[in-house]
Amino acid sequence: MNLIEIPEQVTIEPERTADACLIWLHGLGADGYDFVSLMPHIGKRTDIRSLRCIFPHAPVRPVTFSGGMEMRSWYDIYASSPKRQVSQEQLLGSVSRILSIIQQQIDSGIESHRILLAGFSQGGAVAYQTAADCPHALGGLICLSTYIAELPTHSLSFQPANEALSIMIGHGTRDAVVPISLGDNARHQLEQLGFTPEWQSYPIQHEVCFEEADDVAAFIHRRINIAHPTPQPR
């Protein structure tokens, strides 16, 4: 892997000239490296030799529901039960940052419909809001073990460019950190907005398994139309 590391993010530059991009947002307390190691597995399922992968790091900040402990967090969480109560200002600040990364990729020559956005847990909530607020037609949205954050004055209303966005949702049935009910609520909310998200559940906890990674690879393949090699055994 051609890994480029800067303070704000980790980037995997592809073997060939990049003509597509995947932006993947990590969960609370992790960092951008969290899903870098998953890309070789995904690369065995679909050709990613022209796919640039960007893994931003969330800033380090105190998190209220964790006793004020400082950790990488896309936004503060005030309470987690029964619903996540979050800092709207910080979440929208993270959305603005990811929108800037999307714009940078467009400016570099990658068409917006070949840009995919993915997020796990807290990063998934940012991914949902970013896709909704993005004025450019994205290629797809992958949300894993996550939820749609309820913001006091900023509803999840998708821009016209993404009203037909393809969405994949994956969640573990044994997830005790973000209960599957929150993922299911997100699915129903999207259906009420007219979407038909792809929904997959897995017998796992708050994590990503190889079966889920295979489904992510298949989604990437379908959305950016890149050649699929001979399937590898799991």
Please say if the pLDDT value at position 225 is more than 80: no
Chain centre distance of CA 20: 16
Q: For residue 71, what are the β-bridge partners? A: 61
Q: What is the pLDDT of residue 4?
A: 97
pLDDT of residue 81: 73
Q: Are 124 and 149 in contact (CB under 8 A)?
A: no
- For the segment 38-58, the average pLDDT, to the nearest whole number, is 95
Give pLDDT, residue 227.
Answer: 42
Give me the residues paired with residue 85 across strands.
Answer: 79
For residue 206, the SS3 value is coil
Cα 202 to the chain's mean position, in Å? 18
Peptide bond into 82 cis (omega under 30): yes
Query: How confident is the model at residue 80, as a pLDDT?
Result: 82
Compute the average pLDDT of residues 80-103. 93
- Residue 229, pLDDT > 70, answer no
Q: Which domains does the chain show, CATH number per domain?
A: 2-224 (3.40.50.1820)
Average pLDDT over residues 24-39: 97
Residues 232, 169: Cα–Cα separation, whole Å: 23
Active site residues: 121, 175, 206
The 10s digit of each residue's pLDDT in 124-175 is: 999 999 999 999 999 999 999 999 999 989 888 999 999 999 999 999 999 9
Q: What is the mean pLDDT of residues 48-67?
A: 96
Q: DSSP letters of 30-44?
A: --GGGGGGGHHHHHT
For residue range 2-16, list pLDDT tens digits in order: 999 999 999 999 999
pLDDT value at residue 155: 82
Structure tokens at 45: 């399922």
